[in-house]
Amino acid sequence: MPRLAGKVAVITGAGSGIGEATALLFATEGAKVLAFDKNADTARATADAIRAAGGTAEAMTGDAGEEADVSRVFDAAVEKWGQLDIVFANAGIPGGWIPLRDQTPERWAEILRVNLIGPFLAVKHASRHMVPRGQGSIVCTASVAGINANAGIHPYSASKAGVISLVKTSAYSLAGTGVRVNAVCPGIIETGMTRPTIARLRELGREVQMGKLTPLRRNGMPNEIATMVLYLASDEASYVNGQAIAIDGGLTASMPYDVGQKS
């Protein structure tokens, strides 16, 4: 039997990258998927791809950092399919590489609004539907940038560290309800968000150097994050709660070292 048979899932940031890969994987495992994204065309494309493959999906457009939009998407899933079992709060924005002295409070506020307040709103409003049923799995996208330094600019790293704290504190806030809250912490993954950086490194002939940062000597792909999200969303992870799991090829397993060093 498919691992998510009979379950209803909402995925934010489902129009591309990790969100899109997860939406497609959830659907192949039997879930009904509501693909939520700020970009109407990409959200619709994800839902269309799921339906073309024989799955069940709908698309919605909105801002993952706006409470009214977040509340609306969960209400819509319940209204259409009668329940809400899984939420993947994945939507996020990059920080860019701006020197500390040139960063502005306005840019910090926007990154925190989407990357941290967005997952908070997902936990808040998803649990409203899950707690009465005594079950549910919420997975948030954090990052290795929230674990160690030098993986992201200051506000991005701070937002992802906040997501890690959010899932831990929320797991205890929802203690005894049957609702689990966890996070995935991707490493260097080739997505639309990271593609400009990787392309620039290719131009400079430094892509191989970037790949050497991990013991696996390569970058990750969105489907490699999606498989962990699938596990956390499924009943197989019924005793996994309040955790932030790094999927990073081993990037966070060691202190920084010279990428040219030989073992």
Q: Where in the sequence numbering do the catalytic residues fall?
A: 156
Would you say how long the chain is, in residues?
A: 263
- How distant, in Å, are the alpha carbons of 16, 45, 100, 122 from that of 89? 14, 19, 28, 6
